[in-house]
Amino acid sequence: MSGPLIVQSDKTLLLEVDHEQADDCRRAIAPFAELERAPEHIHTYRVTPLGLWNARAAGHDAEQVVDALVQYSRYPVPHALLVDIAETMDRYGRLTLTKHPAHGLVLTTTDRPVLEEVLRSKRIAPLVGARIDPDSVAVHPSERGQIKQTLLKLGWPAEDLAGYVDGEAHPIELREDGWSLRAYQKQAVENFWHGGSGVVVLPCGAGKTLVGAGSMAQAKATTLILVTNTVSARQWKHELVKRTSLTEDEIGEYSGTKKEIRPVTIATYQVLTTKRKGVYPHLELFDSRDWGLIVYDEVHLLPAPVFKFTADLQARRRLGLTATLVREDGRESDVFSLIGPKRFDAPWKEIEAQGYIAPADCVEVRVNLTDSERLAYATAETEEKYRFCATTDTKRKVTEALVRRFAGQQILVIGQYIDQLDELGEHLGAPVIKGETSNAQREKLFDAFREGEISVLVVSKVANFSIDLPEATVAIQVSGTFGSRQEEAQRLGRVLRPKADGHQAHFYSVVARDTIDQDFAAHRQRFLAEQGYAYRIMDADELLAGES
Amino acid sequence: MTPEAHSRKEPPAADPAPAAPRSLAEALRARDDASLAALLRARPDLITPVPTDLAQLAARAATRASVVRALERLDRFALQTAQALAVAADPATYDELLGLLAGDGGPEADPVTAEALPRALGTLREQALVWGTDERLRLVRTAREMLAPSPQHPSPTGLGPTVAEATAGMSPGRVQEILTATGLPTTHDAVSAVAALTALFTDRARTSALLATAPAESLDVLSRLVWGPPYGQVTPRPAPHLRWLLDRGLLLPTAPGTVVLPREVALHLRSGHAHRRTEPLPPAVETAATHRPQGVDASAAGQAYTALATIEELLRDWDEGGPLVLRAGGLSVRDLKRTAVALDLPEPAAAFWVELAYAAGLLASDSEVDERYAATPAYDEWRELPPAERWTRLATAWLTATRTPGLVGGRDAKDRTLSALGPGLDRSAAPEVRHRVLELLAALPEGAAPTTESILARLSWERPPRGDRTTGDDLRSRLARWALSEAETLGVTGRGALSAHGRALLGPHPDQSPPPAGPGDKLPVHHRHHRPVHGDPLTAAERTAAASHAARLLAPLLPEPLDHVLLQADLTAVAPGPLERPLAEVLGVLADIESKGGATVYRFTPASVRRALDAGRSAADLHAFLATHSRTPVPQPLSYLIDDVARRHGHLRVGAASAYVRCDDDAVLNEILADKRAASLRLRRLAPTVLAAQTDPASLLDGLRSLGFAPAAESAEGDVLIARAHTHRTPPRTAPAPVPDGPPAPDAALLTAALRAIRAGDLAATAPRKSGGVPATGGELPRTSAAETLATVQAAVLTGGSLWIGYVNAEGAASQRLIAPVRVEGGFVTAYDHTADEVRTYALHRITGVAEPADEQP
């Protein structure tokens, strides 16, 4: 009786990583438990109703789940918990969404009282049509996502057997000349394709674009790709042309500047959510072609209007890609219910161990405010406090020292506040990329950085995502969007592309001691700490002393 | 050996005395000591107080209260036997009784009942509810009265009165008519006529022949009444098929419009059965699932460990002052809620743990002025016990407690909410039901989990709920359901089956049970010398032995406490199992608990670290502590966190001082500190130029003056206070309002209004009734002595006349009223008030006086 797993009363599962059965156990619990934290010794999984229902959807039954828990558990599993799991899983599939030749989309039940119960709900009533017989009711096809989401909230998830439309066929092949999909990428594509729709979670730099390309090659159909910004759109295009049989002409860009609709169209979230006269004029893009696949890049950033529209796209295959499925607004479950369940998830450290992302040395540099700064900080307005401590002068000195230390390497200086960045840019003699920098200028600077013509780049949060800068090895973060966990992870992601010479990446987060900057930093680091990145803490004085 | 022969050769209670007993007392006298002891054991109320002789014992055994108690404790078959005896002739023979229970087919048709009857009869005899030989079985008269059917108290048998009872008030002529209609010869008197009719109905062949001629509709009517209730309604002019039945005495009228099916006819139609369903055997306990016994034990042990942890957590939560005791006793709903949240449990579960800790003597009210709940010294002793023994302490307390946490949140008979730890939660049947439920579980093979329904059915057979209800909401069924769920929560059972340690708690008896008494049933309900199940059937010594046996079985299953944790860089620590207590205590202070269960996850936060520093630990202590107990190197962020918090901890110091001395010249302060006489001022130097004192400013000034200094007092703003003669002032107060004697003098407006009202009233009183008039004294209140008033009023009551009275109401306002007194009692006059035109009551002492109405005056 000494398995690797400990079942907690709050339905978290603790997996001892160093245990000999840990890998078997991980495989056994992965289908139904969500990996929540993956620090060095003990990984935490959580059993949620959603996870259990996804497991049911993937063909696992309660017995398998109970067996897995009982088999690997170190201590006896509380009976009540097992009963609860069985009961929760039993709720799945009482309701099914199917295609009826005469009535279109139909919600059918095997348990009449359940149907009665959900139909009595105020939120379901507007989504359903006529009662066809005691056990089934018609559903408007456009409400497919909405009703699934609502039923999920009511605790009676519907099994969606209505299938997917194939969409307009378009030949797409991967061109694996001199490269091939990595094992985990293949696995991710396979899991996604088998599941129909869903989210793939891979660390930054682990090649999510290729998972997208692989999925497109599976779908062999017209594809709509939604990305965060124009630079990222260009990178997708570049990558697709390089890796697949697609040509430049087959790929359209739908952004602020260009409005091309081609068999493969890459659109930005920004243009989709542009509102004019109370309507979203560009949302019709979703209907402009018979898309066979929709890819959501950085799905954790999915804006609310797109959420709403995605609900109406339940008949199309959807692939969500992200490195960090944490949303500070807590809408992760909406992502799961609308795009699809998590189909693949790889802990960062695992990919690092396989050598596909660079190992990183994360350091938190603590700077002391000077006495006068402390007084000023103490008297600052609450909303100004973070800005004040995040932009302290000492940070500039530390940043300069770090840039000097890593002279000769490609360095990114990342921050939140434009005046701080401008000042840093001036002192470091480095160009600054911020919101007002034109796309052309941005691309020029990024190219120069990639080529090594510029070794230090100061960037604002515009460079948080999807900017591929393979040779960046050092990132220095001077300020951020308060306590955003995913921003921290994304910024680390900027330096995680494997280096040509295989050496370590460095991530420095400069934090003002004894201020809310430090509290935010602690929160920001949680995601990475849970992924197993151990931050080292360093005193600024130490760093500056080593300098002189 | 047939059952009858068996019962005759070995009558369960009656000695084979030469003469049959003529009374219960005689029957008791004939019993041996062992048999009497069995009676007293079964009905302990008979010896409180100890009766002087057997006659008194017999009399007491026949009292209604005692018989009710005894009947309530019978199993269903014994009760059915008693009910059958109550509808049989008095006395009845064994064969008649068997006929009522097994039906006309007798032992051949229903061998099970025939076999079970001697046992049931034995029980009834043992309990002195039945006496007499098998030829003359007599039910104690009180029991017979209670069980025999009557219109007010229908019997569970559904039988009606006998022909003799039903025809008691009938005219002799009518009886003779019935005889004629049934084809019997008429008789000379009513008694023989009834006897003839009874004989006819008890004769199966003749009655069948009679019924064979009945119209089909008549038979339908009979079949509706046959299983009871036996009463039916008829119209004054019954339909022909009813007429047919009434004519032949197959239905007899009881009251106008009501008819009854006589008992003999009903028994005929039932082929002799007194009950629709005779239940001679206890229903077997069904198995819902069978698990591996090891799995059951492990699961129960896991739960047992949780039980210990939960109790400790509960009392730790209440360590620094538990919740207040309600004035009526018990825990307020809000405190229970808060406790439930703290324990992360639903409220009923929290109530269970609180009650369990209370029952085990681990928590009680502190009986101080502000009464609060707190852990008892016994809790500290309990905590020092090994875990297995800690559990048995809880389990035995649970087993024997009469407190039933399941009731918490419900309402009592007066509709007051029953609160946890409060009054009204004791149910004396609880321990017995718990014990019985566990015994039933113990009778199953190891690892078998029974269905709740079958357990409930079994319990309800053994002790039928009053009124033979089978709805399952009677107290015993609820107790049994609670017992099952509580046993699971406590870890007595695991996955629904009794664990080995749970079995051990019951003591050695279940293992030595005699052969099965029912199908698939390993436990005899009532064998000849069964142990009565009253409360905990174990003696104290047996219980201790059983508990230590259970502890021995449980001990190896409980997880070993660990002495290490795993520290991780995300500022968590995981204890992959229970921790040794000192370690758990320190860690509980140093970090917040994030999740509980088999393991514990702790999270370090600045606040938690500060808490540890506040608790008197230094940063170095904490580093050493973590380094000692971590299996892995202490992550750097954690060391940093501790150092960071420690660096700022205690940076600011706060203390209390009641006055200070400040002086720009530190030499003077040195001088004061050096002066021995200043010791009483309790001065402490905070800074070179500041001293803090524990005495108040006035004494400090005086003290310093006596030392020869000339100190000046300072205001909060630092100004020098000018000393003035000390004058004492209250806070702002308003002057007292004057309290006038009597009502305040009315002002002009009020007077005018009052006068107008009086005139209007007066007009109303006089105008319609010419007889009314102004009082003799004209305008002034009549004044008479109290005695005179009373006499006049009483006289007016007798004559029915009217009076003027002067009356001062509660506000002190005086008025004159014309009243017609109706009644004088208790210092009050009830009268018709002409002035107000309604009946009012006046206090005699408020009547200033009375006067005759004017026109009656001479």
- Report pLDDT digits (tens) over B290-341: 888 888 888 888 888 888 988 988 888 888 778 888 888 888 999 999 999 8
What's the pLDDT score for residue B789? 85
**Which architecture does CATH list for A358-547?**
3-Layer(aba) Sandwich (3.40)
Q: What is the mean pLDDT of residues B730-753?
A: 68
| Predicted confidence (pLDDT) at residue B525 exceeds the cutoff of 60 | no
Contact of A243 with A174, CB cutoff 8 Å = yes
What's the pLDDT score for residue B726? 62
Task: Give domain limits for chain B.
Answer: 3-147, 163-269, 287-556, 566-648, 659-706, 748-856
Mutation choice for B interface testing from A1, A5, A6, A16 by most B CBs within 10 A: A6
| Predicted confidence (pLDDT) at residue B769 exceeds the cutoff of 50 | no
- Comparing alpha-carbon positions, the chain B residue that sits nearest to A38 is B570
Tell whether B292 lies on the interface with A, counting CB pairs under 8 A: no
What backbone phi and psi angles, to 5 degrees, belong to B661?
-125, 130
Q: Which of A37, A75, A537 sits opposite B640 (nearest CB)?
A: A537
* Cβ within 8 Å of A, B 300-319: 301-303, 306
Residues of A in contact with B571 (CB under 8 A): 522, 529
CA angle (B224, B227, B233) in 5-degree steps:
45
Secondary structure class of A59 (helix, strand, coil) = coil
The position carrying tokens 């499925």 is A325
DSSP state of A504: P
Which residues does A contribute to its contact with B (CB < 8 Å)? 1, 6-10, 12, 14, 16, 37, 39-42, 44, 73-79, 364, 513-514, 522, 526, 529-530, 532-537
| Predicted confidence (pLDDT) at residue B159 exceeds the cutoff of 80 | yes
| Predicted confidence (pLDDT) at residue B857 exceeds the cutoff of 70 | no
- Mark yes or no for CB contact B636/A75 under 8 Å: no
What backbone phi and psi angles, to 5 degrees, belong to B779?
85, -40
| Predicted confidence (pLDDT) at residue B217 exceeds the cutoff of 60 | yes
- Comparing alpha-carbon positions, the chain B residue that sits nearest to A524 is B570
The position carrying tokens 């939960």 is B310
| Predicted confidence (pLDDT) at residue A49 exceeds the cutoff of 90 | no
- Mark yes or no for CB contact B596/A12 under 8 Å: no
B49: preceding bond cis by omega (within 30 degrees): yes
Q: What is the Cα–Cα distance from B514 to B521, expressed in whole angstroms?
A: 11
- Mark yes or no for CB contact B596/A77 under 8 Å: no
What's the pLDDT score for residue B337? 92
Per-residue model confidence as pLDDT tens digits over A309-336: 776 777 888 999 988 777 767 777 778 7
What's the pLDDT score for residue B750? 65
Residues of A in contact with B574 (CB under 8 A): 14, 41-42
pTM for this prediction: 0.68
Contact of A412 with A475, CB cutoff 8 Å = yes
Residues of B in contact with A534 (CB under 8 A): 569, 635-637
Per-residue model confidence as pLDDT tens digits over B132-155: 888 888 888 888 888 887 777 777
Fold classification of B748-856 is SH3 type barrels. (2.30.30)
What's the pLDDT score for residue A240? 92
Q: What is the Cα–Cα distance from B22 to A312, expressed in whole angstroms?
A: 93
Pairing of strands B497-498, B493-494: antiparallel
Q: Which of B495, B597, B632 sits opposite A6 (nearest CB)?
A: B597
CATH code: domain A183-352 is 3.40.50.300
What backbone phi and psi angles, to 5 degrees, belong to A29?
-95, -15
Q: How many CB atoms lie within 10 A of CB A466?
A: 22
Please give the full DSSP string across A330-371, using - where no structure is assigned. Answer: -THHHHHHHT--EEEE--HHHHHHTTSS--EEEEEEEEPPPH
**Ramachandran class of B692: left when φ > 0, alpha when ψ lies in -120 to 50, beta otherwise:** beta
B91: preceding bond cis by omega (within 30 degrees): yes
Q: What is the Cα–Cα distance from B600 to B565, expressed in whole angstroms?
A: 9
Task: Give domain limits for chain A.
Answer: 5-90, 95-160, 183-352, 358-547
Per-residue model confidence as pLDDT tens digits over A476-507: 999 888 778 888 888 888 888 877 777 788 99
Q: What is the Cα–Cα distance from A111 to A94, expressed in whole angstroms?
A: 6
Per-residue model confidence as pLDDT tens digits over B527-550: 434 444 444 467 778 888 888 888
Amino acid at A315: A
Instruction: Please give, rounded to a whole number of angstroms, the shortest distance from the CA of A392 to a CA of chain B.
Output: 20
CA distance readout (Å), B486 to B312, B345, B558: 18, 14, 19
Per-residue model confidence as pLDDT tens digits over A348-374: 888 888 888 888 889 999 998 888 888
Instruction: Please give, rounded to a whole number of angstroms, the shortest distance from the CA of B367 to a CA of chain A.
Output: 36
Tell whether B574 lies on the interface with A, counting CB pairs under 8 A: yes
Secondary structure class of B573 (helix, strand, coil) = strand
What's the pLDDT score for residue B519? 40
Residues contacting A75, CB < 8 A, separation 6+: A1, A6, A7, B302, B559, B577, B597, B598
Which residues does residue B493 pair with via DSSP β-bridges, in sequence order? Answer: B498
Q: How many residues make up chain B in this entry? A: 858
Contact of A292 with A217, CB cutoff 8 Å = no
Q: Which of B299, B569, B644 sits opposite A76 (nearest CB)?
A: B299
- Comparing alpha-carbon positions, the chain B residue that sits nearest to A70 is B295
* Same fold: A183-352 with A358-547: yes
Instruction: Please give, rounded to a whole number of angstroms, the shortest distance from the CA of A510 to a CA of chain B.
Output: 15
| Predicted confidence (pLDDT) at residue B96 exceeds the cutoff of 50 | yes
The per-residue pLDDT of chain B, averaged, comes to 81
Q: Give the pLDDT band (50/70/90) at residue B1.
A: very low
What's the pLDDT score for residue B33? 83
Q: Give the pLDDT band (50/70/90) at residue A466.
A: low
What's the pLDDT score for residue A216? 92
Residues of B in contact with A8 (CB under 8 A): 595-599, 601
Tell whether B578 lies on the interface with A, counting CB pairs under 8 A: no
Mutation choice for B interface testing from A7, A14, A15, A46 by most B CBs within 10 A: A14
What's the pLDDT score for residue B355? 92
Report the range of poorest mean pLDDT among B21-35, B326-340, B532-546, B721-735. B532-546
Q: Which of A10, A78, A514 sits opposite B302 (nearest CB)?
A: A78
Which residues does residue B714 pair with via DSSP β-bridges, in sequence order? Answer: B720
Instruction: Please give, rounded to a whole number of angstroms, the shortest distance from the CA of A359 to a CA of chain B.
Output: 16
Contact of B335 with B323, CB cutoff 8 Å = yes
Q: Which of B303, B574, B599 sits opposite A78 (nearest CB)?
A: B303
Sign of CA dihedral B436, B438, B442, B448: positive
Higher pLDDT, B532 or A305: A305
Per-residue model confidence as pLDDT tens digits over B571-602: 889 988 888 888 888 898 899 988 887 788 99
Q: What is the Cα–Cα distance from B251 to B249, expressed in whole angstroms?
A: 5
Q: What is the mean pLDDT of residues B122-139?
A: 88
ipTM, 2 dp: 0.81
Task: Express as a percent the part of chain B with pLDDT over 90.
Answer: 7
- Mark yes or no for CB contact A40/B576 under 8 Å: no
